[in-house]
Amino acid sequence: MESEALWKTALANIELSISKANFVTWFKNTSILERTEHEVTIGVPNGFAKEWLENKYNHYIIQALQSADPGIRKIRCVIGSSSHATPQGTTPKLDSVLPNKGFVEPKSIDFKRKKIIQQPSFQSKDNLADTGIFHQSNLNNRYTFENFIVAENNELARAACMAVSENLGGSYNPLFIYGGVGLGKTHLLQSIGNAVIKQHPEKRIKYITSEKFTNELVNSIKNQKIDRFKEYYEQMDLLIIDDVQFLAGREKTQNEFFQIFNALYQINKQIVISSDRPPKAIPTLEERLRSRFEGGMITDISRPTLETRLAILESKVTEKGATIDKEALFYIADNISQNVRELEGALNRVIAYSEFQKIPATLENTKKILNQLLESNKKTVSVDDVFAHVCEHFQVSKEDLIKKGRKKEVVYPRQVMMYLLRTELQHSFSAIGEIFNGRDHTTVLHAVEKIEREKGEKDKIKSDILRLKEILYYTPSE
């Protein structure tokens, strides 16, 4: 059978098995470019179609082709048109199909809905090779709203993300989500993309970290393909930029990003951004970008509470089909409170270890397994670290802590600071006295003893110390 006839037959089959909208979206402008005994090469108009046909419709296509030619085992998609389908009958090389020339629909296939606006083939092999722009949505289907545990620390962020996924370019544009490391920002951002693609497979979605974005941009400038780079990004329906704080200090990138941002924003395309801090706390972020970010919806994710951590662990255990004692789970949730990534890491470690060693994941075993981890996670802590965290925790300045002065707001933080230097850094009383403006070692001794004594009696002191130790040792360095 001729290639054209073969493809027509296959399309007729595929059309029966998928929805009309999907059929038109993904199979318009496709044709068979090449055929060997077992393999068929299909020409597709752009990277979206390539990604989609190869990953999602691969199976349908092979089945449909096999119904006409049982020898076919494999398909391959390449971006470009078939030679005989060009209007003037010229024979373009695949590589020369320029991004903004548009794609010419093969004449042999009669799609009824001719009115569909032809999408410029924004991604030919040509710019793919030279600029590194090869369309990949970069979505990972492991991140969904369904497997995201909602709690008070993230419910607003999640609601905003869901609203965006249901109404791209609506009132939450741009959507800016910020929060510390490992708290679920990437998970939520990716969930938006995955939810959109499920509902509207034709939407153009790009997820990218700002670091990768910067690299791509730098390459495109080097290769003099910056226009194509921008053109590519400006065609997205949903652009997700993760960890935007890395744009700080990169003037050129910010400038180009600003233009892409505006181009998309003006035509109501959705932009979603994440960062480890709010826009106003990103140093050297251009004012105009900052005000753009602040012009949309801003929401944060904070640290999960113990109950939330437990809920997350329980859901991950179910997801993995593992068995682990309740007290052991509690121990993990209680000891790893800074971020969900570490929480998951600890859980995985316990599961893996207990499966590997064939020992049950009891509280005792979990303690043994995790204590190693908790130890190895410990950072080396300096006096400056202790100062920084104590000052931040109590909202006092270092000068006030050191100064001689008995203002009530600083006396307690100062005692805590001395206590931590003694117990965590094993400084001598007199060395601590030196740090505190030459105070006498007995003053230090009294402070340390006071905290030691009272932390057993007063919950506030106990929790301050616990919290500070936790921050000192387990906050991941960023």
Size of the site for Mg ion (CB under 5 A): 2
Sequence-separated (6 or more) residues with CB below 8 Å from residue 394:
409, 412, 413, 416
**Closest alpha carbon to 417 in 439, 375, 388:** 388
Q: Residue 57, SS3?
A: coil
Angle at CA 318, nearest 5°, toward 315 and 324? 100
Stretch that binds Mg ion, among 17-25, 181-189, 263-271, 465-473 (CB under 5 A): 181-189
Minimum separation from the CB atom of position 364 to ligand ADP (A):
27
305-334 binders of ligand ADP (CB under 6 A): 312
Stretch that binds Mg ion, among 139-147, 179-187, 296-304, 311-319 (CB under 5 A): 179-187
If one asks whether residue 279 binds ligand ADP (CB under 6 A), the answer comes out as no
Minimum separation from the CB atom of position 161 to ligand ADP (A):
11
**Closest alpha carbon to 237 in 98, 123, 137, 138:** 137
Question: Of 44 and 340, which has the nearer Cβ to Mg ion?
Answer: 340
Question: Of 208 and 472, which has the nearer Cβ to Mg ion?
Answer: 208
Helix, strand, coil shares of the chain, percent, nearest 5, are: 55, 10, 35
Q: Per-residue x/- mask for ligand ADP, residues 229 to 268, rule CB under 6 A?
A: ----------------------------------------
Minimum separation from the CB atom of position 117 to ligand ADP (A):
36
Minimum separation from the CB atom of position 144 to ligand ADP (A):
10
Longest distance between any two alpha carbons in the chain, whole Å:
97
**Closest alpha carbon to 393 in 378, 412, 367:** 412
Among 81, 127, 173, 186, binds Mg ion (CB under 5 A): 186
CA atoms within 13 A on the CB side of 53: 30
If one asks whether residue 340 binds ligand ADP (CB under 6 A), the answer comes out as yes
Minimum separation from the CB atom of position 243 to Mg ion (A):
6
Minimum separation from the CB atom of position 182 to Mg ion (A):
8
Amino acid code (one letter) for 261:
F
Sequence-separated (6 or more) residues with CB below 8 Å from residue 175:
160, 161, 164, 270, 271, 272, 273, 296, 297, 299
Question: Of 185 and 269, which has the nearer Cβ to Mg ion?
Answer: 185
Question: Of 256 and 342, which has the nearer Cβ to ligand ADP?
Answer: 342
Sequence-separated (6 or more) residues with CB below 8 Å from residue 414:
401, 436, 447
Question: Of 207 and 394, which has the nearer Cβ to Mg ion?
Answer: 207
Stretch that binds Mg ion, among 186-194, 262-270, 417-425, 445-453 (CB under 5 A): 186-194
The order of strands in the sheet holding 297-301 is 205-209, 238-242, 270-275, 175-179, 297-301
Minimum separation from the CB atom of position 233 to Mg ion (A):
20
Size of the site for ligand ADP (CB under 6 A): 15
Element (H, E) at 31: strand 31-35
Q: How far is CA 256 from the centre of its chain?
A: 21
Q: Per-residue x/- mask for ligand ADP, residues 178 to 197, rule CB under 6 A?
A: -x-xxxxxxx----------
If one asks whether residue 389 binds ligand ADP (CB under 6 A), the answer comes out as no
CA-based R_g, the chain, Å: 29
Q: Per-residue x/- mask for ligand ADP, residues 91 to 130, rule CB under 6 A?
A: ----------------------------------------
The order of strands in the sheet holding 31-35 is 31-35, 39-44, 74-79
Question: Of 185 and 414, which has the nearer Cβ to Mg ion?
Answer: 185
If one asks whether residue 344 binds ligand ADP (CB under 6 A), the answer comes out as yes
Query: 310 to each of 155, 363, 365, how far by Cα in Å?
Result: 16, 15, 18
Nearest to Mg ion by Cβ — which residue? 186
Question: Which residues here bind Mg ion, judged by CB under 5 A?
Answer: 185-186
Question: Which residues here bind ligand ADP, judged by CB under 6 A?
Answer: 148-149, 154, 179, 181-187, 312, 340-341, 344
